[in-house]
Amino acid sequence: MIERLRKGHVAGLAGLLLLMPVPGLAQDGATLLEENCAGCHEADAAGVLSRIGGQRKTPEGWLMTIVRMRIFHGMEIEPAVQSQLVHYLSDTQGLAPSEAEGYRYILEREPAVVENVEAPLGEMCSRCHSSARYALQRRTQEEWALHIDFHVGQWPTLEYQALGRDREWLKLAREEVVPLLAEKYPLESEAWSSWLEAQKPEATGSWVFATRLPDKGEAYGNLEVSGDSQPYAVSGTLKTAGGEELAVSGKLNVYTGYEWRANLDIGGTAYRQVLAISEDGDTLSGRQFLHAEDSLGSTFRAARAGVKPAVVGVVPSTVPAGASA
Q: Over the stretch 243-283, which tens digit does the pLDDT of each residue have?
A: 999 999 999 999 999 999 999 999 999 999 999 999 999 99
Nearest by Cα to 203 from 132, 295, 286, 265? 286
Can you give the pLDDT at residue 43? 93
- Residue 24 above 90 pLDDT? no
Cα–Cα distances in angstroms (integers) from residue 81 to residues 86, 229, 279, 289, in the given order: 9, 16, 28, 27
- Is residue 305 scored above 60 in pLDDT? yes
- CA–CA dist 189, 302 (Å, integer): 30
Amino acid symbol at 54 = G
Predicted local distance difference test score (pLDDT) of residue 15: 56
Q: What is the pTM of this model?
A: 0.90
Could you say which DSSP state residue 202 is in? P
Per-residue HEC secondary structure of 29-48 comes to HHHHHHHHHCCCCCECCCCC
Greater confidence (7 vs 113) lies with 113
How do beta strands 259-266 and 245-255 pair? antiparallel
C-alpha gyration radius of the chain: 21
User: What share of the chain has pLDDT > 70, as a percent?
Assistant: 92
Q: How do the domains of the chain map onto residue ranges?
A: 2-196, 205-304
pLDDT score of 325: 75
Query: CB neighbours of 183 closer than 8 A, spacing ≥ 6?
Result: none
CA–CA separation, 233 vs 227, rounded Å? 6
pLDDT single digits (tens) 116-130: 999 999 999 999 999
Q: For 156, which DSSP code? A: G
pLDDT band at 191; cut points 50, 70, 90: very high
Q: State the average pLDDT for the chain.
A: 91
Which pLDDT score, from 0 to 100, does residue 16 have?
A: 57
DSSP label at residue 21: -
Calculate what percentage of the chain has a pLDDT beyond 90. 87
Q: What is the pLDDT of residue 9?
A: 45
Nearest to 284 by CA among 314, 261, 251: 261
Average pLDDT over residues 179-197: 98
Among the four given CATH numbers 3.40.50.360, 2.60.40.60, 3.30.70.890, 2.40.128.120, the one describing domain 205-304: 2.40.128.120
How buried is 284 (Cβ within 10 angstroms: 0-12 exposed, 13-18 middle, 19+ buried)? buried
**CB neighbours of residue 101 within 10 Å:** 11
Q: pLDDT tier at 28 (50, 70, 90 boundaries)?
A: confident
User: Which tops the pLDDT comparison, 25 or 28?
Assistant: 28
Beta strands 205-213 and 293-304: pairing type? antiparallel
